[in-house]
Amino acid sequence: MSDPAITPALIKQHGLTPEEYERIQGILGREPNYTELGIFSVMWSEHCSYKNSRPLLKTFPTKSPKILVGAGEENAGIIDIGDGLAIAFKIESHNHPSAVEPFQGAATGVGGIIRDIFTMGARPVCSIDSLRFGELTSPEVRRLFSGVVAGIAHYGNCFGIPTVAGEVYFDKSYEGNPLVNAFCLGVLRHEQIARGAAKGIGNPVFYVGPATGRDGLAGAAFASQDLTEESAEQQRGAVQVGDPFMEKLVMEACLELLATDAVAGIQDMGAAGLTCSTCETAARAGTGIEIDLAKVPQRAPNMTPYEIMLSESQERMLIIVHKGREAEVKRIFDKWDLPWAEVGTVTDTGRMMVKNRGELVADIPAKKLADEAPIYQREAREPEYLKAVRAFTLAGVADTQDAAGNLKTLLGWPTIASKNWVYRQYDHMVRDGSVVCPGSDAAVIRIKADSLPQDGEGKSATVDKYIAMKVDCNAVYVYLDPYEGAKTVVAEAARNLACSGATPLGSTDNLNYGNPHNPEIFWQLRESVRGLAEACRAFNAPVTGGNVSLYNQNPNGPIDPTPTVAMVGLIDKLEHVTTQWFKDEGDAILLLGDVVDRNDPMLGLGGSAYLQRVHALKTGTPPRCDLDREKELHLALRSLIYSGVVKSAHDCSDGGLAVALAECCISQQIARETPRLLGAEIDLSAFTGVRLDALLFGETQSRVVISVSAVQAAKVLAQAKILGVPAAVLGKTGGTALNIKANEGTLSCDLRELHDLWWNAIARAMA
Amino acid sequence: MNFAVLQFPASNCDQDAVHVLRNVLGHSARLLWHKETSLGNADAVIVPGGFSYGDYLRTGAIARFSPVMQAVQAFAAKGGPVLGICNGFQILCEAGLLPGALIRNRSLQFRCEHVFVKAATANSPFTSQIPDGKVLRIPIAHGEGCYFADAETIARLKAQNQILWQYADAQGELTDVANPNGSVENIAGICNESRNVAGLMPHPERASEGLLGSADGRLIFESLIHALESKSVAKAA
Amino acid sequence: MKAKIIITPKKAVLDPQGKTVQNALEHMGYGGISAVHVGKYLEIEVSGDKETVRKQIDEACHKFLSNPVIEDYKFELD
Amino acid sequence: MKAKIIITPKKAVLDPQGKTVQNALEHMGYGGISAVHVGKYLEIEVSGDKETVRKQIDEACHKFLSNPVIEDYKFELD
Ligand SMILES: Nc1ncnc2c1ncn2[C@@H]1O[C@H](COP(=O)(O)OP(=O)(O)O)[C@@H](O)[C@H]1O
Ligand SMILES: [Mg+2]
């Protein structure tokens, strides 16, 4: 079978523009052959090269004294957590593959991000996931949702990594464009950091893991175009199938091998598989690499060089070994019954040379291929729809007549309802470190000796550490105001950490948007990156890496701009770990922050869950987040937590104060079918002159509900005052109902009913 | 005491078991690779949870043919105590060391959550230290934990007091809603006729420290340690 | 040659998957369905003398590929 | 009548389960095995006119019982 001729049509089919093709000719000094064309097309896809987004990514804060490996340097960033320990973490999307095959698409997304983490030499210890779908009333959406959740569960559970937190949103804009962002965090000692560099001329290059098949051919390129019936059909031909069992073995073997010092460089084969791993490792080391495809284990007969180079078969790694240490690779991979093959060597040519049975099938300067993809400054234009959004006022929206009914509507809305239908399918406790499981604001895990790459047997004992994390993104806010909305995304993640007692260490983001060639979409991207960067700076949570997923649109339109942010923080002492539910009868309930932002003409109702669900309006300027005030709030909250008085802390987010209070009353789950319900008597009559719906359901930023023992209430108010944060006593805990009294009306709900609506909403929608 | 914690390809609760035995309970515990043919100086064997061989074909079906399982068979035959947790329970059933089988949860979904478990008898090396009437709060995490055996076997298990743990509600009632997977008789764990081999689906190693929300699982390990120390189980060496 | 093996849950064993598939089919409007059973299908490509292979496969089914506590098996060679 | 449905992973698609079972069989000493595929088997008891049933089962296989992205199916009625 001979390779097709390079025609303009073929070039276009590979997603390359005529200018890009010229650039390729310039780099090679000749026409590329078919295999080379394929190699350039995947490496220069948005997914691998960030050609449309790189200028924006440069604006993120990426430095802090604690950062050991920064954004863009390697497969994941690494942050110092003290005592010689460090964490590696990153988020990545698998949106398009999940749209084509939800179960395997999501599963391989989890597998891919886990590989990114152990490639750094770290032991993956937990993962989190951020998911978005259309509305559950559609059977097709239910199929995607249940498939994605089952796929994540399948991979994570079998691999043995706890999935400890996440978020799920349901909105029409994701219908046909589901978002699956997976995050993984790993632990290592400073000296255990591994590098993805092909160092040492003459060193042998090993391929380890299962044989290469035709799966996921050119998946990176597929992810870099709109999702159409044709593009999906192409990809269906060879869906990637995940094998978590294999990955667990590959990881254990790699960590065991890394402990021997035999490894000069290591990189996973993720997007763009063998292509990306060879040219990137060579580019990082400033070396060349030569491989022979005939030596690459192959699953399917008669695979062409093009197919082998572009395959995205899962669970494969490329390892560069110090010459003379080959036997160790063989010993360890044989112990784990894993396939391996020596496929090439590191050279001094600076070129990526690919041979197949003696014939040279690709010869490309590695650095130019990996690092010199074209960069585009796309045109940006403020979207038309924002005019109407800004013009919208509350004038035509009548205040609520049925606050209790509204609360029930909101708690039963799948976006706000408990996500237990999801996280009970995930093993969230394996590894014996889940101190705060899903169901509170941020998850908290304990790092202990066996969190390290090697068991720790015989090694010096480590101190236990507590790491908190959460992923957030209210994409409706971002849609309604990309800059301000993006700030609140980061603020919410940071607030969730603060509620758990943690101080941010860093963050990782996943930019999910529509087609960047549309100036309005590029504007959304640009403006929201501006907001993210500013907020990450404010909270001292530099970005250590992330992922860009553009082209999330189908013929029905683009998704809402969705920059998900996963933030990771540290908790010094176990006593500081705080959960969101009320603890004891008779405790005082306080609000830290202003009950309502009176400077906001929308009173916090713009873009709110309340307007969406009760009034079917997805509009209005979303609530602003004043980063300075938000930061003061977090500082104050943490210092109160450190002083030992805070029994529970829960931030106000979707659904506002009433939903937050209800969640404080109903969200503690003791065991299967055994919630612990603790009521509250709330009096808001001190807050006059505010519409009842804004008071109860407005989403004014920078607010946290805490509970303290009654005798401490006055002291806490005084302390808050000193710390410069508004605070008020709202009421006290007790009873079996949530009762709220305000000037404009009252609300009274039985907790059993609220709990049932909230806990079972998704299960009912899926039945 | 010396514990051997078996390690199959894709065991993933092996380190958790070692952690609890070693760091929480202060005993010696080591991982034993599935290709080993001897248990060394082990006083007791833990077959840990996880997804040995990816749970492909059937849970536990492949692991039970590992070389180490022959040694476990011999150890158990001599009266040595063996405890299987989750996947370990499945492996022991597949190996014929325990009767019955574990099939797909009734919900067809994987379930991870805390459940209440009641010891049905104190008469075993795995339950002797559980106070009468105490309801343990322990997590489960499995997709195939529905215990099944034919009516005859169930009758025998009951007659011989081999049912060790049952899913219950907070009050200790064996209700249907308390049963997370559809197990017959709410069975969460059983032992063999000679009472030295036991298996259970819940994870006591995940409930052995207060900071993880419950320390009730320790009672199971402490029962075993008590039995070993008082030599009420054979020291098979 | 190919061994085609069918493994089915024993009658007495709860088959929640079969029940769920049946309900779903009914929901989708397929009528006249009185029972659904879900089992496994294995295809093994194997070479050797037919009678030896038959014995081997039977043994593998009995000892390993099925669990006699909950499953029945049958197979054919071709 | 009975519809007997066999669902197998597509040839081009990775079959980790089949591969693992193959390795296990080899480890146990079964020789001559060149491939193992693991799929699903469904038995549906259904009444009605044979041709209508055939159409229904085919549709159900395509739309629901198999995942056409990664699986093939075949069935017979008897
Ligand atoms: N996909 C998921 N996977 C795991 N946990 C989840 C998922 N979605 C939500 N959760 C958990 O449910 C709880 C509520 O989530 P969310 O509504 O996003 O909280 P918040 O409003 O505080 O950000 C959190 O503990 C979160 O980690
Ligand atoms: Mg929160």
DSSP B4-60: EEEE-TTB-SHHHHHHIIIIIT--EEEEEETT----TT-SEEEE--B-GGGG-SSTT
The residue contributing the CA closest to ligand 1 atom 16 is A167
Q: Is the pLDDT of residue A459 over 60?
A: no
| Structural domains of chain D in order of their starting residue, each with its CATH number | 2-77 (3.30.1280.10)
Ligand 1 atom with least separation from CA of A149: 1
B116-155 residue pLDDT tens: 999 999 999 999 999 999 999 999 999 999 999 999 999 9
Cα A507 from Cα A504, distance rounded (Å): 8
Tokens of A358: 């003696």
Residues in chain B, total: 237
A738-767 residue pLDDT tens: 999 999 999 999 999 999 999 999 999 999
Q: What ipTM does this complex have?
A: 0.95
D27-53 residue pLDDT tens: 999 999 999 999 999 999 999 999 999
What pLDDT, on the 0 to 100 scale, is given for residue C15? 87
Across the range A94-98, mean pLDDT stands at 95
Query: Does A415 sit in the ligand 1 pocket, CB within 6 Å?
Result: no
Q: Is the pLDDT of residue D24 over 70?
A: yes
Query: Which DSSP string do the residues of B187-219 spell out, in sequence order?
Result: EEEEE-TTSSEEEESS-GGGSSBGGGTB-TTHH
Instruction: Give pTM, 2 decimals.
Output: 0.96
User: CA triplet C53, C57, C60: central angle to 5 degrees?
Assistant: 140
Tokens of A765: 């929608």
A280-327 residue pLDDT tens: 999 999 999 999 999 999 998 889 999 999 999 999 999 999 999 999
CATH code, residues A578-767: 3.90.650.10
pLDDT band at A231 (very low <50, low <70, confident <90, very high): low
Cα A654 from Cα A410, distance rounded (Å): 9
Tokens of B124: 């075993």
* Percent of chain A predicted with pLDDT > 90: 91
What pLDDT, on the 0 to 100 scale, is given for residue A252? 97
**Burial of A445 from C-beta contacts in 10 A (0-12 / 13-18 / 19+):** buried
**How many Å lie between the alpha carbon of A501 and the closest alpha carbon of chain B?**
15
What pLDDT, on the 0 to 100 scale, is given for residue A232? 67
Where exactly are the structural domains of chain B?
2-236
CATH architecture of B2-236: 3-Layer(aba) Sandwich (3.40)
Cα D67 from Cα D61, distance rounded (Å): 8
A415 C-alpha vs ligand 1 centroid, how far in Å?
A: 10
**Is D7–C37 a contact, with Cβ atoms under 8 angstroms apart?**
no
A430 C-alpha vs ligand 2 centroid, how far in Å?
A: 24
The residues, any chain, with a CB within 8 Å of residue B186's CB and separated by 6 or more, are B166, B167, B168, B174, B178, B179
E strands of A37-138, at which residues?
A: 67-69, 77-82, 85-93, 123-133
Distance from chain centroid for Cα B179: 17
**Burial of A692 from C-beta contacts in 10 A (0-12 / 13-18 / 19+):** buried
The reply to whether A583 touches chain B by the CB within 8 Å rule is no
**Burial of A181 from C-beta contacts in 10 A (0-12 / 13-18 / 19+):** buried
- Per residue, the 3-state secondary structure of A484-532, as one string, reads HHHHHHHHHHHHHHHHHCCEEEEEEEEEECCCCCCHHHHHHHHHHHHHH
What pLDDT, on the 0 to 100 scale, is given for residue B237? 46
Ligand 1 atom with least separation from CA of A496: 22
Cα B50 from Cα B88, distance rounded (Å): 8
Tokens of B129: 């230290």
Cα A494 from Cα A504, distance rounded (Å): 7
Q: Are C77 and C54 in contact (CB under 8 A)?
A: yes
Query: Which DSSP string do the residues of A374-405 spell out, in sequence order?
Result: ----------THHHHHHH--GGGSPPPS-HHH
Residue of D15, D27, D44 to mutate for C, most C C-beta atoms under 10 A: D44
Mean pLDDT score of chain A, rounded to an integer?
A: 95
Q: Is the pLDDT of residue A456 over 70?
A: no
Cα A497 from Cα A567, distance rounded (Å): 8
Strands C71-77 and C2-9: antiparallel
pLDDT band at A458 (very low <50, low <70, confident <90, very high): very low
Other CB atoms within 10 Å distance of the CB of residue A382: 13
Of A104, A245, A313, the CB nearest to D70: A104
Q: Is the pLDDT of residue B235 over 80?
A: no
**How many Å lie between the alpha carbon of C68 and the closest alpha carbon of chain D?**
17
Q: Is the pLDDT of residue A435 over 80?
A: yes
- Residue A206's nearest CA partner among A263, A151, A131, A161 is A263
What pLDDT, on the 0 to 100 scale, is given for residue A460? 46
Mean pLDDT check: name the lowest of A32-36, A227-231, B220-224, C24-28. Answer: A227-231
Say which amino acid occupies B7: Q
Across the range A348-373, mean pLDDT stands at 94
Instruction: For chain D, list residues whose CB is within 8 angstroms of any CB belonging to chain B.
Output: 16-17, 20-21, 24, 27-28, 38
Query: Which DSSP string do the residues of A472-487 spell out, in sequence order?
Result: E--HHHHHH-HHHHHH
User: From the DSSP assignment, how many helices (H) and strands (E) are in chain D?
Assistant: 2, 3
| Catalytic site includes residue B209 | no
What pLDDT, on the 0 to 100 scale, is given for residue A72? 85
A160-183 residue pLDDT tens: 999 999 999 999 999 999 999 999
- Residue B201's nearest CA partner among B106, B111, B82, B127 is B111
Ligand 1 atom with least separation from CA of A653: 21
Across the range A20-39, mean pLDDT stands at 95
Residue that the structure tokens 């920064």 belong to: A70
The residues, any chain, with a CB within 8 Å of residue A558's CB and separated by 6 or more, are A173, A177, A513, A514, A515, A518, A521, A552
E strands of B95-234, at which residues?
A: 101-103, 111-119, 135-142, 146-148, 163-168, 187-191, 197-200
Q: Is the pLDDT of residue A461 over 60?
A: no
